[in-house]
A and B are shown apart, each in its own frame.
Chain A
Amino acid sequence: GAVVSQHPSRVICKSGTSVKIECRSLDFQATTMFWYRQFPKQSLMLMATSNEGSKATYEQGVEKDKFLINHASLTLSTLTVTSAHPEDSSFYICSAGRGGEQYFGPGTRLTVT
Chain B
Amino acid sequence: DQQVKQNSPSLSVQEGRISILNCDYTNSMFDYFLWYKKYPAEGPTFLISISSIKDKNEDGRFTVFLNKSAKHLSLHIVPSQPGDSAVYFCAASAPPSGTYKYIFGTGTRLKVLA
Contact of A100 (CB < 8 Å), options: B41, B89, B98, B107 = B98
Q: A91-B41, A101-B34, A103-B46 are in contact. Are A43 and B100 (CB under 8 A)?
A: no
Please classify the interface of chain A as helix (H, G, I), strand (E, B), loop, or mixed, using the class held by over half of its residues. Answer: strand
Contact check, A43 vs B34: say whether CB atoms are below 8 A apart.
no
Contact check, A102 vs B102: say whether CB atoms are below 8 A apart.
yes
Chain A min CB distance to B46 (Å): 6
Which residue of chain A is the closest to B99 with respect to CB atoms? A32
Total contacts A-B at CB 8 Å: 53
Which residue of chain A is the closest to B2 with respect to CB atoms? A43
Contact of B43 (CB < 8 Å), options: A41, A42, A105 = A105
Count, chain A residues at interface, CB 8 A: 24
Contact check, A34 vs B43: say whether CB atoms are below 8 A apart.
no
Count, chain B residues at interface, CB 8 A: 23
Residue among B41, B43, B98, B106 with max Cβ neighbours from chain A (10 Å): B43
Contact check, A100 vs B32: say whether CB atoms are below 8 A apart.
yes
6 A-B pairs with C-beta separation under 8 A: A34-B100, A44-B104, A46-B103, A102-B46, A102-B102, A104-B45
Q: Chain B residues in contact with chain A, CB under 8 A?
A: 9, 32, 34, 36, 41-46, 49, 89, 97-107
Q: Chain A residues in contact with chain B, CB under 8 A?
A: 4, 6, 32, 34, 36, 41-44, 46, 49, 91, 93, 95, 97, 100-107, 109
